[in-house]
Amino acid sequence: MRIQQLKSQAISRAKRLYVATMMQVVGRALQAISQEDNEIQRELSAFPENFTFAMKVLPAGPGLMLRKAADGSFIFLSDSDGEADLTIYIKHIEHAFRMLSFQESTATAFANDRMVVDGDISSAVRMVRALNRLEAFILPKLVAEMAIKEYPSITLPEKLIQGARIYLRVATNFLSEQRKAA
Amino acid sequence: MSKGYYEFFCPVKVIAGEAALEHIPFELSALGVSNPLMITDKGVRGAGLSDYVITACSEGGVEMASIFDDVPPDSSTEVVRNIAAVYREQGADSIIAVGGGSVIDTAKAVNILVSEGGDNLAKYSGAGVLKRPLKPFFVIPTTAGTGSEVTSVAVIADRKKGVKLPFGSPFLLPNAAIIDPRMTLTLPAHITAATAMDALTHAVEAYTCMAKNPLSDAYAFSAVKKISEHLLEVMENPKDPQGRLELAQASTMAGIAFSNSMVGLVHALGHALGVICHLPHGMCMSLFLPYVLEYNLRKGKIREPLAELLLPLAGARVYANTPPEQRARRAVAAIRELRDELFERCKLPRTLKETGKVSLDLLPKIADVAMDDGSIIFNPAEADFEEVLEVLKSAWDDM
Ligand SMILES: [Fe+2]
């Protein structure tokens, strides 16, 4: 095999691994933020209990799935197989990589036809807003301003606190999962 | 900002101009069909517009398999099923829709049933469910506004379930759109004005929203130019076929633009207002266009594209005489001036208050519904509830 081929294979694998990992991070971050943030709770309030949201890379993943709990927050599901009420399909792993490495915001990815929605369009509208807000929370302000349509007016301390909380929750969530697995 | 990536698709053959209807027999035979079902409504039939089509076909050796002229303004799955039954009974092999938005959407849905078989329209609802081409389908628009002749979507109400079924597929696009000046010649002044404002909004939103791209820009820019040059002229002289043709073409061009780059907050608000207060779509567009542009401009999102639109909106002299940093504002002013002229000529309302159909306490509800509308995704500024409400308040009485 030529060295060039090996190199591009390695890049493809790394990209896929990155996307798979980020799907987990975004899924867990959504769970955490949905317990904390009023704005996101307001977006989710329109969904019925047990509503499931999925984001999947075509043709066969990776992806993430969340289910709305009785208290109105999202629960990250470790198994993303199966039909969801609303699925955002990303057309190619490269498009997912750009989005999840924040080179292209969710809204821009929509405008650029990188994704297709399976489900009710007004549910999709709410989820895109929730994802935009999530990006603002988990990214440093400078990067976020490039990645999203608008940086929400969160004062720095609030953002720091919220962001830290979310990171913390994501981290502890990861830890407890690993403990379960071990 | 240059667009990093875009898609553009419009496979519809546009047949436009004088004696365009007379091309239908040839176009039918080119697709190997000869027995079309005409779908239209009572208004179109009563105005004698369908007769132009029937005569043009008959002189070219094509008789209609049947004529269904009872499409209501708000069509339903039941109407679609009935028309599909007529199509099958009469052994039709193609569809000719003659009318506005409702007739065209109905005909698209009929085409699904008669091509795929069965009576269950709901089965095909959603995006990309259809997987193969449908029967030959021609559209002859009788209003210059919706652009439905070049869009790949349709919405049909399911009355029993109380829901609206959306359909989206490239296979819904007609094989041809026939734009003949005779079809819009008798359109009353207030409908001419409102539908032209719908077309103008399609073009302006296509040009200023997030999915704008070089190809849709070209269509949108030219559509704006045609509407600003010819709308008032047609209002003065409604029987001018040349002016009518310009507006009809502009509507189709704006339709091609927005079906490829989508619309934004004007449409989100307009859909909400239409549902809640039962006002015609074109009027809703006219009511919101300047206020949404001012909002997007305030948010620093559309200065450049809006400034560019001053040229087609107000002409070369105004454009050249306006300092670059004032052009975007001047473009909004030009749209306001157009609305004032239309108000004078046919009382097309400029504010929610002027409609006499909207009350101030409905604004939060309208904002709420607009927040859930699909068009809001593509608005360049990420509007939250409070901001949408602000826009509604400025649209209330222009204060
Ligand atoms: Fe429209």
What is the distance in A from the centroid of ligand 1 to the CA of B285? 7
What is the distance in A from the centroid of ligand 1 to the CA of B100? 12
What is the distance in A from the centroid of ligand 1 to the CA of A133? 29
Partners of residue A107 in chain B, C-beta under 8 Å: 210, 377-378, 382
What is the distance in A from the centroid of ligand 1 to the CA of B262? 10
- The string of pLDDT tens digits covering residues B72-84 is 998 999 999 999 9
Domains of chain B, residue spans: 13-183, 189-397
Suggest the residue from A44, A150, A151 to mutate for an interface test with chain B (most B CBs closer than 10 A). A150
Strand partners, A74: A68
The 3-state secondary structure of B99-130 reads ECHHHHHHHHHHHHHHHHCCCCHHHHCEECCC
Whether A44 contacts chain B with CB within 8 A: no
Is A24 a member of any domain?
yes
Rounded to an integer, what distance in angstroms lies between the CA atom of residue A21 and that of residue B78? 49
Measured CA to CA in angstroms, residue B341 lies from B185, B347, B349 at distances of 20, 9, 11
Is A176 a member of any domain?
no
Is A178 a member of any domain?
no
- The string of pLDDT tens digits covering residues B128-163 is 889 999 999 999 999 988 999 999 999 999 999 888
Is A19 a member of any domain?
yes
Whether B171 contacts chain A with CB within 8 A: no
pLDDT of amino acid A155: 47
Rounded to an integer, what distance in angstroms lies between the CA atom of residue A174 and that of residue A181? 10
Which residues sit with Cβ closer than 5 angstroms to ligand 1, an ion? B 198
**What CATH architecture does domain B13-183 belong to?**
3-Layer(aba) Sandwich (3.40)
Is A175 a member of any domain?
no
Task: Tell me which DSSP letter residue B185 carries.
Answer: T
| Cβ pair B372:A107 closer than 8 A | no
Is A45 a member of any domain?
yes
Strand partners, B158: B163
Q: Which CATH number fits domain B189-397: 1.20.1250.20, 3.90.226.10, 1.20.1090.10, 3.10.129.10?
A: 1.20.1090.10
Suggest the residue from B1, B2, B5, B302 to mutate for an interface test with chain A (most A CBs closer than 10 A). B5
Rounded to an integer, what distance in angstroms lies between the CA atom of residue B95 and that of residue B108? 9
Whether A14 contacts chain B with CB within 8 A: no
Q: Phi, psi (5° rounding) for residue A157?
A: -55, -45
Distance from the A94 Cα atom to the nearest Cα atom in chain B, whole angstroms: 13
- The string of pLDDT tens digits covering residues B208-220 is 999 999 999 999 9
CATH label of the domain that carries residue A119: 3.30.1050.10
* In chain B, beta strands by DSSP E: 13-16, 36-39, 66-68, 94-99, 126-127, 137-141, 153-158, 163-168, 176-179
SS3 B155: strand
Distance from the A132 Cα atom to the nearest Cα atom in chain B, whole angstroms: 9
Angle at alpha carbon of residue B374, lines to B372 and B379, rounded to 5°: 100
pLDDT tens for chain A, 182 residues: list them: 688 888 888 888 888 888 888 888 888 888 888 888 888 899 999 999 999 999 999 998 899 999 999 998 999 998 878 899 999 999 999 999 888 887 788 888 888 889 988 888 889 999 988 988 887 777 655 555 655 566 555 544 455 446 555 555 555 554 455 445 44
Segments forming the whole domain that contains residue A102:
12-169
Q: Which residue would you say has higher pLDDT here, A17 or B294?
A: B294
pLDDT of amino acid A18: 86
Which chain B residue shows the shortest CA-CA distance from A106? B377
SS3 B179: strand
Whether A108 contacts chain B with CB within 8 A: yes
Rounded to an integer, what distance in angstroms lies between the CA atom of residue A47 and that of residue A123? 8
Is A5 a member of any domain?
no
Is A155 a member of any domain?
yes
- The string of pLDDT tens digits covering residues B46-95 is 999 999 999 999 999 999 999 999 999 989 999 999 999 999 999 999 99
Q: Which positions 147-166 of B are in contact with A (Cβ < 8 Å)?
A: 166
- The domain total for chain A is 1
Rounded to an integer, what distance in angstroms lies between the CA atom of residue B121 and that of residue B105? 13
Distance from the B210 Cα atom to the nearest Cα atom in chain A, whole angstroms: 6
Whether A46 contacts chain B with CB within 8 A: yes
Whether B299 contacts chain A with CB within 8 A: yes
